[in-house]
Copies of this chain bind each other. A is one copy, B any other.
Amino acid sequence: MPRDGSSTRLRIMDAAEALILEKGFAATSVDRILERAQVTKGSFFYHFDTKQALAEALVDRYSELDLSHLHGNLERARTLSRDPLQQLLIFVSLFEESARALTEPYPGCLFASYCYESDLFDARIHEVIVRNMQTWRTEISQLLSVVAKRYPPRLDVDLGSLADAITVVFEGAFIVSKTHRDPQVVAQQLRHYRNYLDLLFSPDLEAR
């Protein structure tokens, strides 16, 4: 156990993130965070000057983790196949695989939570979220361009919005999953996205 307070900081952040995804940022009081994290007010304010500072730290951490999933799975997909279409399909399947292992509905996306309370946050937080979504778009668009050059799509599609579609699937599926309390929604919807890419680009459709 580290003695520099990093575990306390982490405990505060974990408790706050869970509470925000259940009740939103406005209704998540510092007192409730203290109670959930089992820390004192003094140690909370030692780590975070304000609730807004905590919000920033949470969005930074969430974005970092999210981008590491993006880059990690792109990297793994490139290792698993040399063919760009296979890389694309494997990339989506890797997320599907993780989502299928869920036994509880995914607690939700911090970006979506912030988006529905957007007036409460400053411009810097908004920028982190925008930059995060743009990174997904850019990285996946690049792969899509390579795929589309080698495997001309069956329908005329816009590659930027096709790249955005995976973010749309995650965000939308989290909401449907939370509403129905069904942990399998995210995996099912990722499968539909993968099917769409397969039908758009795979040359050997009729042979199946």
Taking beta carbons and an 8 Å cutoff, which residues of A are in contact with B? 21-27, 108, 111-113, 115-120, 126, 129-130, 133, 154-155, 157-158, 161-162, 164-165, 167-173, 175-176, 178-180, 185, 188-189, 191-192, 195-196, 198-200, 205-206, 208
Interfacial chain B residues near A200, Cβ < 8 Å: 195, 199
| Number of this chain's copies in the complex | 2
Whether the Cβ atoms of A161 and B179 lie closer than 8 Å is: no
Q: Which one, B108, B167, B179, contacts A172 given CB within 8 A?
A: B167
Q: Which one, B112, B179, B196, contacts A199 given CB within 8 A?
A: B196
Q: Which one, B118, B178, B195, contacts A115 given CB within 8 A?
A: B178
Interfacial chain B residues near A113, Cβ < 8 Å: 116
Whether the Cβ atoms of B118 and A178 lie closer than 8 Å is: yes
Known: A189-B164, A205-B154. A179 touches B129 (CB 8 A): yes
Give the docked Cα–Cα distance between A199 and B194 (Å). 13
A99 → chain B closest CB, angstroms: 12
Whether the Cβ atoms of A120 and B169 lie closer than 8 Å is: no
Closest to A157 in B: B195
A184 → chain B closest CB, angstroms: 8
Interfacial chain B residues near A199, Cβ < 8 Å: 154-155, 196, 199-200
The 7 closest A-B pairs by CB, nearest first: A172-B172, A168-B172, A26-B26, A199-B199, A24-B117, A161-B188, A171-B172
Give the docked Cα–Cα distance between A176 and B170 (Å). 11
Closest to A166 in B: B172
Whether the Cβ atoms of B161 and A189 lie closer than 8 Å is: yes
Known: A168-B169, A189-B165. A176 touches B133 (CB 8 A): yes
